[in-house]
Amino acid sequence: MADSIISAIDIGSSKIATIIGIESKDTDELRIIGFNSTSSRGVKKGLVVDIDKVTSALEESIEKAERMAGQKVHSAIVSVGGPHISSLNSRGVVAVADSQGEISDTDINRVVEAARAISLSTTRQIIEVSPRDFIVDGQEGIKNPIGMSGVRLEVDTHLITASHTNLKNIDRCMENVGVQNDGFIFSGLASAEAVLTDTEKELGVVVVDIGGGKTDIALYVDGSLSYSSSIPIGAKHITNDIAVGLRVSLDSAEKIKLYLSKKLDHRQDKTKRKIEELNILDLQLPEVVDQFDVKLLIDGIIGPRLEELFKFVSDEIVKSNYMEHIPSGLVITGGGALTVGVVEMGRKIVGLPIRVGVPSRVTGLVDEVLDPQYASTVGLILYGRKNIMSKEEGFKNFNKILKDFSVGQSVDKVKDFFKQFIP
């Protein structure tokens, strides 16, 4: 079978990233052949606030990625996130069409369509319909009912909605650059696809993507996406706090922030130093910065902002009603997941295990891409290649998703083992 090209554009508050991959139909491999990350312009907290600026940043990023890949981008999957995202779980019910009672993919499409038929304000648009669980004649817990016998088919779905205006604005930018939009994917869901293991999803886990202007949350229970939201705080707030606290420019504050996380992180700097040995005079900033206490900067400026962020994350988990169902804890990703002290603070505030999620499952030009900053970028093509909600039909390729679903059943034993420990 022929290989096909798949492209995606991650429109973030800090960067706009374009990624081009080749999907091998035979080996299931996704090879990256083009990538570019350009400073974002005209995006605030995930919202397009200036169409012209976003268009020019998109143009720049797409063109550079195209040059690297030696391929034109005709269409791309696009990320969408920010506090305008909201989610709900909805149930659909249909009678199985076949008189013999065998459930077919047409029944799946019909029942999912029934679940998405909710009354929605005209300012909102559904961007994701994810089946969580099927119920056949009252029997719950069925992941793939195709081929089963039954007369009544029900489905529990997770729906994600977004601001219609923002989606239209993104579409306008895409039209301006002459690239067709293959569909929107919530950036938190994309990140989850790139950094989570199937076992984590089965056990219950929350992805927290700390971006520049917002933090996306995607919560999985029993292998299915069950709660999504986005908080209007991101790692840029930390940079702002440092700028105000030390009376330096935003550029200098950003340099200080990156310097601290680099020097205090084993993975990034093999010569990890002690806090007392760090001296920001090493950075040779244009401003005169008095000698100051690095520990105070971490505990007094960065710490409180991280604390605030994780309190919001905690509130969201409580709001989801799934607090008792996420023994795998938090997987933090996005550029902000590299902030100094973020793991410790998250553990303290949320009280769950935490790890930093780095994207994987792609090959090719991956040196730059396998970084938490690009979790949602990589996730877009990983998720998009198996299910994208076509604009015309409003449907995804559920057959492909259902195949994925059944993977989860193999980890049921592990899950039961862990569940003993949940109070």
Q: Which residues bind Mg ion (CB under 5 A)?
A: 12, 211, 376
Q: Is 346 a residue that touches ligand ATP (CB under 6 A)?
A: no
Which listed option, Mg ion, ligand ATP, none, makes contact with residue 21 (CB within 5 to 8 Å by class)?
none
Two tokens, residue 127: 């961007």
Nearer to ligand ATP, 54 or 179 (CB): 54
Nearer to ligand ATP, 6 or 302 (CB): 302
Cβ 153 vs Cβ 93: under 8 Å: yes
Q: What's the closest the beta carbon of residue 37 comes to ligand ATP, in angstroms? A: 8
Distance CA 266, CA 273 (A): 9
Cβ 325 vs Cβ 132: under 8 Å: no
Return the C-alpha torsion angle 147, 152, 153, 157, nearest 10. -170
Task: Note the Cα 291 to chain centre separation in Å.
Answer: 39
Cβ 46 vs Cβ 127: under 8 Å: no
Q: What's the closest the beta carbon of residue 337 comes to ligand ATP, in angstroms? A: 8
- Side-chain-side CA neighbours of residue 376 (13 Å): 40
Nearer to Mg ion, 190 or 297 (CB): 190
Distance CA 333, CA 167 (A): 24
Q: Which of 42, 150, 212, 359 binds ligand ATP (CB under 6 A)?
A: 212
- Side-chain-side CA neighbours of residue 72 (13 Å): 5
Cβ 61 vs Cβ 10: under 8 Å: no
Q: Is 157 a residue that touches ligand ATP (CB under 6 A)?
A: no
Span of 103-111, 146-154, 229-237, 292-300 interacting with ligand ATP by CB under 6 A: 229-237
Site for ligand ATP in 165-194 (CB under 6 A): 187
Q: Which of 132, 143, 214, 255 binds ligand ATP (CB under 6 A)?
A: 214
Which listed option, Mg ion, ligand ATP, none, makes contact with residue 15 (CB within 5 to 8 Å by class)?
ligand ATP
Q: Which residues bind ligand ATP (CB under 6 A)?
A: 12-15, 40, 46, 81, 187, 211-214, 234-236, 239, 254, 257-258, 261, 334-336, 338-339, 373
